[in-house]
Structure formats: structure tokens, C-alpha cells
């Protein structure tokens, strides 16, 4: 694109102004076109036919496929138009001459009519003339870059529609046409599904009607040829073409003007396409906001160039947003600088990533595997030296070696679920070399090792050494007859019905039940069974079946006591392995029971929130101390006296209450919601129990709620990092709300100390005093974190109501931009899609006018679709060089892998260190 004036010899991107008309030359790439041949002739004709009094300067923009008249101005060097100070003075008739020249140019060359200049040249009334002058003075310079940015906000089909991609897309549309068409005609209602807008059929119908009006058609059906014509228009890469379609969707009466009612209809259409019912209800208010901004003359309508102005100035409006909701500097830096330069560097970075990521887990697993291997080999060789080896061979040694590893694993599997012990260890230096975040994964891994050990141990006994024993000769049996009290050779039935056989088979059966119901498919209710077997699926079945392990441990002690080939008590080592872990676990459960009786709380407030979520605000029990990021277990005896469910704490440690936010996803949470949000004045039966029982009701008449905890979670270590990156999906944002509240409390405390120190140490050298007090406060700073970035991704716009108060509090208190909050609504089409373009414009305008986001109702702007995580991490790395950033994530496991990978990639490619942690609640 080039810009030229009458006084310029060559077109350039910036016009050079002059006071005389000269010959006009176009760029080389335009000289062969009709424009290049006709425009110089006309301009030279103007020079010959107008005297100096009629001279004007016309600034043009030469684009790829059009010429735009930017402005028509009088020569500033004409002394007749200068005042005594040399400033230009308004000349009578200048505006009419300028407009007259513009009109003559456009009449002579109709193709010069800019898409941003839709006003009729036939209208000569003063009002429209003044409006035309205002448009010229707006100085809207549509540079190529700004037009491309605007183009991204009017995408009907796809981000890029090159020739090859466009052909592929059309083939898909064509195949859908064949499936949907009836008698070769596609119905208006099926247009959206045909072009790929199946989930936005109402919006697609609006596009259909706009394109049909262009053809002067009022039809409900189109042919394939007409569909192809429509397709070419909506897939056009031209900014003008897309803007015109968008304008025509609102301009129902085709008068080139959009009224407030038409803007409102278009807002409602966009809100419907994005399933934003609240925005749909406020469409009238936002339509008035747009008209107030664009229709400053109160004419009751806006034109295409005004809509274009709003679209191109969206970024300007968004600059009024607070730093906590806008992109930081360095956001657009080329991310290729973070990529390894060569294969060797790439391999070294990968190896470095694997080592730093897995060294904690690695040494634990290595130690565990080495312990099992050593125990297996030790016991294997021990039995190989015994007489029983002559009878049963390697079947016996393998079974006994596997039994030794089972003793170790039955002891270790209890430790990862001792929550109080792990919570205490998290606060010690043990966290530096033990991966406490993977305690549940280690628990599951040990369970798999136990399953393999059972197969080796029980399988070798039942299928190998027992048959070899009963089939052995009398001479060989005589070698081990003393182990059977010199009795006759046992039968297979004798071996199975003995104490060892009965306890062993019982353990195998019980553990098969426990392991099966603990699998993900059964635990997550993924297996559908007919009644009454459907009770075997779900969390309750998993929870209750796990308590069968108490019986297994009793059987294990008995089984390890009545050994056939071991008679000395010091060689019966089963109790030695499991006594200490079992004692710790029993103490753990006893502490939970006693503490839960002491931590009975009073419900202060229960609120029902959008998105099947409710919040409970409870009194804080005496002596109950916790850290932000930790979680508690709740039990409601009226529902079940055995079920405990974990929930993240959303209140700050400094608050005088406890709060949790609970999503109703199961029968227990649904009953809990009914218990505390419905009238419980009368005795009624809900779910499992009657609420009329006195011992299950507190002094307020509500059912009792018992708290157990707090328990450690990865997020509680947030103080160990310079910067926090908190990523929550849906209800997964709950553990991070407490962290934000704690950061705000610390900010208040520091500010109060700063104010106090400043007042008491005020002197003539006030700046030195403030600096010294700040330094002293910095040394006493209770935490290391100085900045936090929260990225909350959700599907339901109503979710923003959950923590609306916290977001407003952050915006009110955090004047230094310490906390950045970014809301992402995935149910809305990404910014750039035509279906969300008007919503984006309204959002930007409302945020600039009132400082409030139209979707969240807070000062934090809501982004559309999913974040580009690579850009997010790169931005934070650029903003916080040489910092250690703690990445805390709570959500779906699939995204956790991506964030974990990005954390380590950028750790090795930038000066910033990322450490990833995944929350489980």
C-alpha cells in the first residue's frame, strides 16, 4: 500500500505536502491497471482547469485492490490564508470547495469510493456536509498493519484461507451441501451447518440474510452456485469485504445506516451465538453505549466508517485496562529465540530437563527398586541353600523372594497416605529431596508392585511348588518331613485348607476386590453395571472397599506367623516390616478421629452460586491453623458417618473464618447442598439419614459439619518462589484464591508498616528515611513472593460470580500491579471470530468507559477461548528474568503435561527458572 498527494512525485507511505499541482506518478505495480492509466490523466486535467484559488491537496492511499481518499485540504503556504502570526485562517467557502473537489473526484472515478466512505454524494444538506468534514478530520489512517489487526476481528471462516486451504474447505462445504440439500436446494436454516457454523445457526442465518439482500433476493433456499458465491464473499481476505458483510448484517433496511435497534439486534445475535444469556439481557444498554460513543451528533444512526473506527481503535480502548488484565511488555517478542540452535543443544536441553525434573523421583524409585531387588535375591539365595529346594526347586525360591518384597511393599504403601505426617514433613528440609507432590502416584505404584508380587508368590505356590511337593518321591520328602512334624506327605487339599492356605487365598480375594474397585474406570463411575451391581462403581465403592485392607493386614500377620519352613520367631519377619508403618497409620487415623470431634464448626453462611457451585463460610475452630493452598476434609454425619471429602480452603490464614467452594458433582455434594441451602426446620429424609436426630444437629438447628485437617498440598509452598503462576480450570481455581487473599493481607500489612515507619521517621531527608524503612521491612518480609499471575480458565460465564469479591478486592487494593488476573472464557469464540467481534468491541468500550468487564462484572478483563500457553510462559519469562517462578496447576491432567513441559523448556532456554506443581483438589 502507498500514500500519495497531488504534490508528490512518487507515492510513499507518508504524503509530502506541497502548494502546487505537478505530474502524478503511480508505483510501478499500478501502471498497467485501469487505475494507473486513468488517474494521472484526470489529475493533470484538474491542474489545467482550476486556478490557484481552487487548488486543494488530496491525500490518497494506494492499496492492493483499491484507492482510498484520505483527506482533502487547502494549501497551507497560501499567504492569503495566513493570519499575522503565520497561522492558517478559515476561508469562506473552503469547506465547500474541498467537498466539491472530493465529490467531483468520486463522480469521475466511482472506484475511488472508499468502503469507509459510504455517504451518498447526492446529499447536499449542511448536516451531512459537517458530518463528512468530521469524518475527514478523524485522521483515521488505515495502515496495512492496523487493517490486518482489524481483519483478525472479522473472521467468518478460518484464520487463514490460502488457495490450497480454501479449496479444501470448500470441498468440505460442498460435501455437506450434498448431504443437506433437498432437490438441489439448501434451506436457510441449514446454511450454518453447511459452512461449518453448526453451533451458531442463528448467527449463520444472519449472514445468509445479509448476503441474500445483496443479491436483492428474499428466498429461503439457495443452489450450489449461489452457495459458492456466498462462500467466496465470507471467505474473502479483504478487510473491506468482511467489514461490509458485518455492517450489512445489521443494516437490515439497506439504507447504509445502522440505528440503535439494529445494533441491539446484532449484539443479541452475537450473544446468542456465544450462549451469553446475561449479555443478551443487557443488549439494549450496550447498544446505547455504542451509539453514545459513535453518534456524537445524536443523528440516531451510525455509518460504516464509524463502525470501522470502533473496530480499529479497540486496542486504544483496551489500553485503559489495569495492568493486571493487560499484556505486559515483551509479549510479542519472537519466541523462536527460545528454541535450541542445533541438535546437540536440543538433546542436551532434553537430558537436562529429564534430570532436573525427575531427580527427586528418580533416587526414591532407584532406592526402592534396589531394596526390592536385594531382598528378593537375599531370600532367593537363602532358600536355595535349604533342603526344600531339592524338592520344589526354583518355584519355591521365586515364591519366597516375591514374599519378601511383599512385606516391604505392604509396609511402604501406608506411608504415602499418612497425611498429617506428610503435612509436617512438607514444612521441613525433607521437601528439598523428597517429592511429596507425588505421594498418591507412589502409593499407586507400590500397589502395582504388590499385585505383581502376589502373582509371583501365590502363582508359584499354587501352580508349581505345591504340585511338585505332593508328587515328590518318599526319599525327597524325607528331607523336609520335619517341617511337617514328621507326618505323612500332605495332599493339595491339606495345603489349601491349612492356616497359610486359608489366609493366603483370603488375602488374594480381598485384594482383588480392593484393586479392581480402585481402578479409574470403577472409581470414576466409568463402568455401567445393571442394578444392584451398579453400587460397585463410584467413589463410595472405592472408599468402603479400601477399608477391607484392615482385614488384609490382620490376615498378613497370621499368614506370616504360621510358616511351614520357618520355625524360629526371629526369622518370621513380617511383623518387623509392618509394625512401625502400621503404628504410624493407626496413630494417624486416631488423630483424625479425635481432632474431628474437636473441630465441629458452625455454619455462618451458605450461598448458592452459578455453575452448580455453593460456598460454605464456617467458624474457625480454636487452634485451627493452616497455610494458603492447603485443604480440609469435611464430614456431615447426617449424610454419612464414614465419608470424608476433601476441599481446598479459599479463605486466607488471617481470616477469622473458614470458607470452601464446593461443586455438586456427586450424590454426597448434592445432598450437602440441599442440607445447607434448603429449609431444614422439619424432620425429613434426604439420602442416607434422617436430619431429625439430635446428635446430628448443632445449636442452630442445622446438621453438624465436622472438619478434619488441614493437610498439605503443593500450593502451600508458594512462599518459596519469587513469582507465582497460578493456573486453575473451573473449580480448580479454589486453592489459589486463598493464596491471593494471603498476598493481599501481606500487602496491607507491609503498607501499614510503611506508613507507620514513614510517619515516625519523617525528617528533612524523607526519601532516605523511607528507603531505609523499606529496606528494614524487606528483611522482615514474611514471604519471598513479590508477584503473582492468575490464569483462570472456565466454560461458564457464571463462574466469575464465585470469586467476584476477591477480584474486585484485588483491583481495589493492588495499586502496584503485584497481582495479574487473567480470566479466560472458553465458551466464547476466540477473539477474531466474527461471532465474538461485536462482543469484543462492546467489552473494550465498556472497559474504557466504566472500568468494568461486561462478562465477569469486575475490573479484570475476560479473554475469549483458551490461552496460548507458550506465549503466556514466554511473556512471564521476559517480564521476570533471573527469577524463580512457581507454577501451580489444578485441573485436567492433559493440560498438566503441556504446562510441565513448557516449564522445563523455558527454564533451559531463558534466564528464568520455572518449577511445576500439580494440585490434586
Following DSSP, what letter does each residue of 443-463 receive, concatenated? HHHHHHHHHHHHHHHHHHIII
Whole-angstrom Cα distance, residue 658 to residue 660? 7
CA 97 to chain centre: 58
What is the residue-averaged pLDDT of the chain? 75
Measured N-to-C along each axis, helices 201-214 and 224-234 cross at an angle, to the nearest 10 degrees, of 100
- Identify the band that residue 413 occupies on the pLDDT scale cut at 50, 70 and 90: very high
Who has greater pLDDT, 312 or 429? Answer: 429
Helix, strand, or coil (residue 60):
strand
Measured N-to-C along each axis, helices 163-180 and 224-234 cross at an angle, to the nearest 10 degrees, of 140
- pLDDT tens digits, 606-630: 888 887 888 899 888 888 888 888 8
Whole-angstrom Cα distance, residue 841 to residue 872? 23
Whole-angstrom Cα distance, residue 492 to residue 636? 51
C-beta separation of 235 from 169 below 8 A: yes
Looking at residue 865, what is its pLDDT?
84
Burial letters 659-676, b for 16+ CB under 10 A, else e: bbbbbbeeebbebbbbbb
CA angle 782, 787, 790 (to 5 degrees): 120
> Contacts from 212-219 at CB under 8 Å and sequence distance 24+?
213/248, 213/252, 213/254, 214/248, 219/188
C-beta separation of 818 from 786 below 8 A: yes
Whole-angstrom Cα distance, residue 864 to residue 856? 12
Whole-angstrom Cα distance, residue 162 to residue 167? 8
User: What is 756-795 written as a DSSP string?
Assistant: HHHHHT--SSHHHHHHHHHHHHHHT-S-S--EEEEEEEES
Sequence-distant (6+) residues with CB within 8 A of 359 are: none
- pLDDT tens digits, 517-571: 888 888 877 777 777 777 778 777 888 888 899 999 999 999 988 888 888 888 8
- Identify the band that residue 113 occupies on the pLDDT scale cut at 50, 70 and 90: very low
The x, y and z cell numbers of residue 271, run together, are: 450473544
DSSP secondary-structure letter at 620? P
The x, y and z cell numbers of residue 416, run together, are: 504415602
Whole-angstrom Cα distance, residue 506 to residue 504? 5
402 pLDDT above the threshold of 90: yes
Whole-angstrom Cα distance, residue 5 to residue 11? 8
Which of 599, 603, 665, 664 shows the shortest CA–CA distance to 633? 599
Cis previous bond, 532, omega within 30: yes
Whole-angstrom Cα distance, residue 743 to residue 721? 13
DSSP secondary-structure letter at 703? B
C-beta separation of 450 from 511 below 8 A: yes
Which of 631, 633, 647, 595 shows the shortest CA–CA distance to 711? 631
Looking at residue 753, what is its pLDDT?
64
Whole-angstrom Cα distance, residue 345 to residue 353? 12
- Identify the band that residue 372 occupies on the pLDDT scale cut at 50, 70 and 90: very high
Mean pLDDT check: name the lowest of 84-98, 379-393, 869-883.
84-98
Looking at residue 345, what is its pLDDT?
67
**Average pLDDT estimate for 133-141:** 55
User: What is 249-311 written as a DSSP string?
Assistant: HH-TT-SS-EEHHHHHHHHHHHHHHTT-HHHHHTHHHHHHHHHHHH-TT--SEE-HHHHHHHH
Residue that is written with C-alpha cell 500519495 in the block:
4
- pLDDT tens digits, 782-815: 455 668 888 989 888 888 888 887 887 777 776 6
C-beta separation of 391 from 472 below 8 A: yes
Whole-angstrom Cα distance, residue 235 to residue 358? 48
Whole-angstrom Cα distance, residue 234 to residue 256? 19
In the chain, DSSP finds a helix count (H) and a strand count (E) of 34, 22
Instruction: Give percent above pLDDT 70 in the chain.
Output: 71
User: How many residues can be counted in the chain?
Assistant: 921
Sequence-distant (6+) residues with CB within 8 A of 632 are: 626, 646, 647, 649, 658, 660, 707, 708, 709, 710, 711
Residue that is written with C-alpha cell 529465540 in the block:
337
Phi, psi values for residue 375, rounded to 5°:
-65, -40
- pLDDT tens digits, 312-327: 766 666 655 444 343 3
Which of 261, 632, 236, 252 shows the shortest CA–CA distance to 420? 632
C-beta separation of 788 from 739 below 8 A: yes
The x, y and z cell numbers of residue 375, run together, are: 531382598
C-beta separation of 269 from 206 below 8 A: yes
C-beta separation of 204 from 195 below 8 A: yes
The x, y and z cell numbers of residue 110, run together, are: 466511482
Whole-angstrom Cα distance, residue 516 to residue 521? 9
Mean pLDDT check: name the lowest of 158-172, 784-798, 888-902.
158-172
Strands 221-222 and 913-918: unpaired
Which of 634, 625, 631 shows the shortest CA–CA distance to 654? 625
Which of 22, 26, 78, 84 shows the shortest CA–CA distance to 54? 78
Sequence-distant (6+) residues with CB within 8 A of 387 are: 479, 480
Whole-angstrom Cα distance, residue 711 to residue 439? 13
Question: H/E element holding 420?
Answer: helix 419-426
Looking at residue 158, what is its pLDDT?
61
**Average pLDDT estimate for 658-674:** 87
Who has greater pLDDT, 394 or 832? Answer: 394
Q: Could you tell me the end-to-end alpha-carbon distance of the chain, in angstroms, rounded to an integer?
A: 55
Looking at residue 24, what is its pLDDT?
41
Whole-angstrom Cα distance, residue 546 to residue 517? 9
Strands 613-619 and 657-663: antiparallel
Looking at residue 778, what is its pLDDT?
39
Looking at residue 315, what is its pLDDT?
63
Torsion angle, alpha carbons of 702, 703, 704, 706, to 10: -120
**Average pLDDT estimate for 419-427:** 86
The x, y and z cell numbers of residue 142, run together, are: 488505515
The 10 Å Cβ neighbour count of residue 742 is 23
Measured N-to-C along each axis, helices 549-561 and 394-412 cross at an angle, to the nearest 10 degrees, of 140
C-beta separation of 491 from 485 below 8 A: no
The x, y and z cell numbers of residue 884, run together, are: 524463580
Whole-angstrom Cα distance, residue 348 to residue 97? 72
The x, y and z cell numbers of residue 194, run together, are: 453447511
- pLDDT tens digits, 684-743: 343 333 333 434 444 456 788 888 888 888 888 888 888 889 998 888 888 888 888 888
655 pLDDT above the threshold of 90: no
DSSP secondary-structure letter at 464? I
Q: In terms of C-beta density within 10 A (0-12 exposed, 13-18 middle, 19 or more buried), how is residue 224 classed? A: middle
Who has greater pLDDT, 649 or 65? Answer: 649
Strands 787-794 and 819-825: parallel
C-beta separation of 574 from 557 below 8 A: yes
The x, y and z cell numbers of residue 453, run together, are: 508380587
For residue 658, what are the β-bridge partners? 618
Mean pLDDT check: name the lowest of 20-34, 201-215, 861-875.
20-34
**Stated pTM of the model:** 0.69
CA angle 535, 539, 542 (to 5 degrees): 80
Amino acid at each position: 500500500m502507498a500514500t500519495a498527494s497531488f504534490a508528490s512525485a512518487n507515492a510513499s507511505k507518508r504524503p509530502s505536502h506541497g502548494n502546487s499541482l505537478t505530474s502524478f506518478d503511480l508505483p510501478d505495480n499500478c501502471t498497467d491497471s485501469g487505475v494507473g492509466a486513468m488517474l494521472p490523466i484526470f489529475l493533470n486535467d484538474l491542474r489545467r482547469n482550476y486556478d490557484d484559488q481552487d487548488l486543494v491537496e488530496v491525500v490518497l492511499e494506494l492499496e492492493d485492490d483499491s484507492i482510498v481518499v484520505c483527506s482533502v485540504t487547502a494549501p497551507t503556504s497560501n499567504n492569503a490564508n495566513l493570519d499575522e502570526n503565520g497561522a492558517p485562517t478559515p476561508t469562506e467557502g473552503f469547506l465547500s470547495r474541498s467537498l466539491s473537489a472530493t465529490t467531483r473526484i468520486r463522480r469521475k472515478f466511482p472506484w475511488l469510493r472508499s468502503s469507509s466512505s459510504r455517504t451518498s454524494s447526492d446529499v447536499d444538506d449542511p448536516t451531512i456536509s459537517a458530518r463528512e468534514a468530521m469524518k475527514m478530520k478523524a485522521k483515521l489512517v488505515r495502515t496495512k498493519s492496523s487493517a490486518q489487526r482489524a481483519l483478525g476481528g472479522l473472521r467468518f471462516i478460518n484464520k487463514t484461507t490460502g488457495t490450497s486451504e480454501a479449496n479444501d474447505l470448500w470441498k468440505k462445504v460442498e460435501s455437506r451441501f450434498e448431504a443437506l440439500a433437498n432437490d438441489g436446494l439448501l434451506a436457510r436454516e441449514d446454511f450454518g451447518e453447511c459452512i461449518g457454523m453448526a453451533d451458531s445457526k442463528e448467527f449463520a442465518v444472519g449472514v445468509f440474510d445479509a448476503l441474500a439482500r445483496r443479491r436483492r433476493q428474499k428466498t429461503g433456499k439457495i443452489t450450489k452456485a449461489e452457495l459458492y458465491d456466498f462462500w467466496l464473499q465470507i471467505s474473502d481476505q479483504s478487510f473491506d469485504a468482511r467489514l461490509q458483510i458485518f455492517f450489512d448484517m445489521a443494516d437490515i433496511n439497506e439504507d447504509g445506516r445502522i440505528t440503535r435497534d439494529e445494533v441491539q439486534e446484532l449484539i443479541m445475535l452475537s450473544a446468542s451465538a456465544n450462549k451469553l444469556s446475561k449479555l443478551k439481557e443487557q443488549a439494549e444498554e450496550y447498544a446505547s453505549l455504542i451509539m453514545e460513543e459513535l453518534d456524537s451528533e445524536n443523528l440516531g444512526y451510525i455509518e460504516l466508517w464509524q463502525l470501522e473506527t470502533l473496530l480499529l481503535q479497540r486496542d486504544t480502548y483496551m489500553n485503559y485496562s489495569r495492568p493486571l488484565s493487560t499484556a505486559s511488555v515483551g509479549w510479542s517478542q519472537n519466541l523462536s529465540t527460545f528454541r535450541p540452535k542445533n541438535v546437540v543443544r536440543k538433546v542436551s536441553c532434553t537430558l537436562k530437563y529429564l534430570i532436573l525434573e525427575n531427580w527427586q523421583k528418580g533416587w526414591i524409585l532407584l532406592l526402592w527398586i534396589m531394596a526390592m531387588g536385594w531382598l528378593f535375591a537375599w531370600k532367593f539365595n537363602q532358600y536355595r541353600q535349604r533342603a526344600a529346594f531339592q524338592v520344589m526347586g526354583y518355584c519355591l525360591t521365586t515364591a519366597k523372594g516375591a514374599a519378601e518384597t511383599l512385606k516391604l511393599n505392604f509396609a511402604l504403601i501406608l506411608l504415602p497416605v499418612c497425611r498429617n505426617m506428610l503435612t509436617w514433613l512438607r514444612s521441613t528440609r525433607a521437601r528439598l529431596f523428597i517429592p511429596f507432590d507425588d505421594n498418591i502416584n507412589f502409593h499407586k505404584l507400590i500397589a502395582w508392585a504388590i499385585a505383581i508380587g502376589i502373582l509371583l508368590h501365590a502363582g508359584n505356590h499354587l501352580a508349581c511348588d505345591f504340585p511338585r511337593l505332593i508328587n515328590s518321591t518318599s526319599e525327597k520328602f524325607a528331607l523336609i518331613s520335619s517341617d511337617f512334624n514328621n507326618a505323612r506327605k500332605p495332599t493339595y487339599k491339606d495345603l489349601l485348607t491349612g492356616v497359610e492356605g486359608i489366609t493366603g487365598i483370603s488375602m488374594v480375594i480381598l485384594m482383588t476386590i480392593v484393586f479392581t474397585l480402585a481402578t479409574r474406570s470403577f472409581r470414576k463411575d466409568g463402568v455401567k453395571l445393571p442394578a444392584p451391581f451398579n453400587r460397585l462403581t463410584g467413589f463410595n465403592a472405592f472408599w468402603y472397599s479400601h477399608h477391607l485392607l484392615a482385614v488384609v493386614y490382620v490376615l498378613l500377620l497370621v499368614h506370616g506367623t504360621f510358616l511351614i519352613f520357618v520355625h524360629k520367631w526371629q526369622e518370621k519377619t513380617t511383623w518387623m516390616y509392618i509394625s512401625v508403618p502400621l503404628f504410624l497409620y493407626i496413630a494417624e487415623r486416631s488423630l483424625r478421629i479425635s481432632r474431628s470431634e474437636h473441630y465441629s464448626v458452625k455454619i455462618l453462611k451458605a450461598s448458592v452460586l452459578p455453575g452448580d457451585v455453593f460456598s460454605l463460610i464456617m467458624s474457625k475452630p480454636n487452634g485451627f491453623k493452616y497455610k494458603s493452598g492447603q485443604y480440609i476434609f469435611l464430614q456431615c454425619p447426617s449424610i454419612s458417618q464414614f465419608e470424608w471429602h476433601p476441599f481446598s480452603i479459599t479463605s486466607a490464614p488471617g481470616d477469622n473464618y473458614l470458607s470452601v467452594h464446593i461443586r455438586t458433582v456427586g450424590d454426597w455434594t448434592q445432598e450437602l447442598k440441599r442440607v445447607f441451602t434448603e429449609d431444614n426446620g422439619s424432620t425429613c429424609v434426604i439420602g442416607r439419614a434422617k436430619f431429625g436426630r439430635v446428635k446430628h444437629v448443632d445449636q442452630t438447628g442445622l446438621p453438624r459439619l465436622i472438619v478434619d485437617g488441614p493437610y498439605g498440598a503443593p500450593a502451600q509452598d508458594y512462599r518459596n518462589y519469587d513469582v507465582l503462576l497460578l493456573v486453575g480450570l473451573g473449580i480448580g481455581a479454589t486453592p489459589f484464591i486463598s493464596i491471593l487473599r494471603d498476598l493481599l493481607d501481606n500487602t496491607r500489612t507491609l503498607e501499614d508498616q510503611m506508613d507507620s515507619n514513614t510517619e515516625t521517621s519523617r525528617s528533612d531527608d524523607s526519601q532516605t528515611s523511607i528507603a531505609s524503612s523499606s529496606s528494614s521491612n524487606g528483611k522482615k518480609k514474611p514471604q519471598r513472593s513479590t508477584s503473582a499471575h492468575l490464569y483462570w480458565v472456565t466454560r461458564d460465564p457464571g463462574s466469575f460470580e464465585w470469586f467476584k469479591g476477591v477480584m474486585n478486592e484485588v483491583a481495589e487494593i493492588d495499586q502496584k500491579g503485584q497481582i495479574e488476573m487473567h480470566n479466560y472464557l472458553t465458551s466464547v469464540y476466540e477473539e477474531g471470530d466474527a461471532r465474538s467481534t461485536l462482543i469484543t468491541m462492546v467489552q473494550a468500550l465498556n472497559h474504557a468507559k466504566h472500568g468494568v468487564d461486561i462478562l465477569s462484572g469486575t475490573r479484570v478483563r475476560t479473554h475469549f477461548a483458551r490461552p496460548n500457553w507458550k506465549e503466556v510462559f514466554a511473556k512471564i519469562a521476559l517480564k521476570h528474568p533471573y527469577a524463580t517462578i512457581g507454577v501451580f496447576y489444578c485441573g485436567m491432567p492433559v493440560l498438566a503435561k503441556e504446562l510441565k513441559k513448557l516449564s522445563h523448556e523455558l527454564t533451559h532456554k531463558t534466564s528464568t527458572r520455572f518449577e511445576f506443581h500439580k494440585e490434586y483438589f
